[in-house]
Amino acid sequence: MLRTAMAIAATAAAVSTAGAQVLNAEASRDFIAGKFFYYKCFDGTTGAGRIFNDGSAIGTLKSSNRAQVRNVALPVGTISVKNDRFCASLKGLYFEPCFTVTKTGPNSFRGSINGMSFMSCEFTGSPRTVIASSAATTPRKRGPRTGILAGSAEAKEAKQ
């Protein structure tokens, strides 16, 4: 069930409202692949993640009926293009769900299961790219070592 929900969320990441643009598989891949999106599905499932060009996906999933957030990773080839639609191939699922992708904004889209438009997820990406600050590249002073090296000769010399 968890893998199915993640596949629906992830593949649905792969979007129907007035003024929205239905994307073919190639346009969907260009719009989605490698970008980070937050999502919320019709059943209350929420999360965040990324779908890659190789058909793999990684992210988080929180079901509406569970308190914990789960990390989820789908292997290479899980999400593929068939008949100009994104489809998910999952073990234990009796069918291969395919999704319609509708661009709803410059950084957002809806993914819905073909033939069941009410079963959808809304995805929102960040319009900004996070840039590392200069503080992250500034060398830091090292304090006393702890952990694995704490009892080593190197750690004892550093204390002196």
- pLDDT tens by residue, 15-60: 334 468 999 888 888 889 899 999 999 999 999 999 898 999 999 9
Q: Of 2.60.40, 2.40.128, 3.20.20, 1.10.3470, which CATH number belongs to 2-125?
A: 2.40.128
| HEC per residue, 50-77 | EECCCCCEEEEEECCCCCCCEEEEECCC
Q: How far is CA 132 from CA 34, 38, 46, 129, 137, in A?
A: 19, 21, 27, 10, 8
Task: Give this prediction's pTM.
Answer: 0.65
Query: Any bridge partners for residue 105, and if so which?
Result: 108
